Amino acid sequence: MEPFKLIHPNDQHAAIASSGAANVKFIAGGTNLIDLMKLDIEKPAQLVDINSLKLQTIEALPNGSVRIGALVKNSDLAYHPVIVKNYPVLSEALLSGASPQLRNMATVGGNLLQRTRCPYFYDTSFPCNKRVPGSGCSAINGYNRNNAVLGTSTQCIATHPSDMCVAMAALGAIVHVEGLTGKRQIPFHEFHLLPEQTPQYETTLKHGELITAVELPPIRYSAKSHYLKVRDRHSYEFALASAAVALNVSNGRIEAARVALGGVGTKPWRSVEAEKALVGAAADEQSYRNAAEAALNGAKPFKDNAFKIELAKRTLVRALKTVGGMS
């Protein structure tokens, strides 16, 4: 680990003002950042400790949405009664990730910025375009069982690891940020970037911008939602495939749908194609299978992860069955 300076600003404006210099990182729970620093993957010259900022509240807004402060702990969010009742897909996603100890430390803002667990990214003896742009992607011709099949490029096939982000993608969350030039709101589908030719850039955050909150918009049927995660072991493991779904079913037909996939994409994967296949269709197994085919259309398998395509389809069908039943 490289030497670094640690500062503790007392308010949000001071925190943002201190982030303008090069090679500065915000830190809250540090459950991912500290690991990366120990491995010499992240080498910040200065850390800005934001734990004293007043970003720990969960509040219902007049328009029916829910605003979640960036410093809310994953465990607190998962067990919050409003989330459990109205957004069960988010609660289930959070509780399926990491361990209780990590969930007690990890924050919502930090989870949004969680970096891939591709083994070649973590091992600095191998080339990795995320770590060193232009050095190559070792996973493409290496062992790639856990890598992505959606959103890949010739530069990177790393999978996005977050469970929480898959649920938030399905819910169409909005990320609130503030930086030196002011405040802005980022739709969730625009927050994470595809690797394309620049995999070192993972989000649309500008230098020095601080995530302040995530807003869950009011979705009338969000209580009818579910997160299903398939993994090698039940505890403390990343997804091989996961599905976050919400359905509005009336008289045996699907009136509205939200679908997102995890474990298979280079970013949290909202599938508008699956949603279009579902809306207007009967709530039955054939419709769910059609949606799964649409969701994985265009998936690109690699040497060790071709199984993920069928696994993701079956995971999605099962999640849809759980929420929508069978007409």
The C-alpha atoms of residue 172 and residue 188 are separated, in whole angstroms, by 6
Is residue 259 a part of any domain in this protein? yes
pTM of the predicted model over 0.85: yes
Cβ neighbours of residue 183 under 8 Å, at least 6 residues apart?
176, 177, 212
Instruction: Give residue 327's pLDDT.
Output: 64
Is residue 28 a part of any domain in this protein? yes
Is residue 107 a part of any domain in this protein? no
Is residue 314 a part of any domain in this protein? yes
**CA distances for 51 relative to 70, 74, 89, 210, angstroms:** 10, 14, 27, 13
Instruction: Give residue 326's pLDDT.
Output: 82
DSSP secondary structure, 188-229, as one string: HHHHBPP-TT-TT--B-PPTT-EEEEEEE---TTTTSEEEEE
The C-alpha atoms of residue 148 and residue 19 are separated, in whole angstroms, by 33
Is residue 76 a part of any domain in this protein? no
For tokens 């079956």, the residue is 314
Quick one: DSSP state of residue 103? Answer: H
Closest to 8 (Cα-Cα) out of 54, 49, 45, 56: 49
**CA distances for 209 relative to 37, 183, 303, 310, angstroms:** 20, 9, 39, 39
Amino acid at 138: S
Point out the domain boundary residue: 14, 33, 50: 50
- Within a 13 Å sphere around the CA of 290, how many CA atoms are in the beta-carbon half? 13
Instruction: Give residue 22's pLDDT.
Output: 85
Point out the domain boundary residue: 50, 65, 91: 50
- Reported as type and span, the H/E element at residue 309 is helix 307-324
Sign of CA dihedral 313, 318, 324, 325: positive
The C-alpha atoms of residue 70 and residue 284 are separated, in whole angstroms, by 39
8 A C-beta contact, residue 62 and residue 70? no
Query: Could you read off the pLDDT tens digit of each residue along the chain, which spans 327 residues?
Result: 899 999 999 999 999 999 888 899 999 999 999 999 999 999 999 999 999 999 999 999 999 999 999 999 999 999 999 999 999 999 999 999 999 999 999 999 999 999 999 999 999 999 999 999 999 999 999 999 999 999 999 999 999 999 999 999 999 999 999 999 999 999 999 999 999 999 999 999 999 999 999 999 999 999 999 999 999 999 899 999 999 999 999 999 999 999 999 999 999 999 999 999 999 999 999 999 999 999 999 999 999 999 999 999 999 999 999 999 986
Instruction: Give residue 276's pLDDT.
Output: 98
**125: burial class by Cβ within 10 Å (0-12, 13-18, 19+)?**
exposed
8 A C-beta contact, residue 107 and residue 135? no
Is residue 172 a part of any domain in this protein? no
The two tokens of residue 187 are 């739709």
Quick one: DSSP state of residue 300? Answer: -
The C-alpha atoms of residue 309 and residue 154 are separated, in whole angstroms, by 19
**Domain at 236, CATH number:** 3.30.390.50
Count how many domains the chain has.
2
For tokens 């930090």, the residue is 110
> Residue 24: which domain range?
1-50
Closest to 257 (Cα-Cα) out of 266, 249, 265: 249
The C-alpha atoms of residue 220 and residue 252 are separated, in whole angstroms, by 18
Is residue 158 a part of any domain in this protein? no
Is residue 301 a part of any domain in this protein? yes
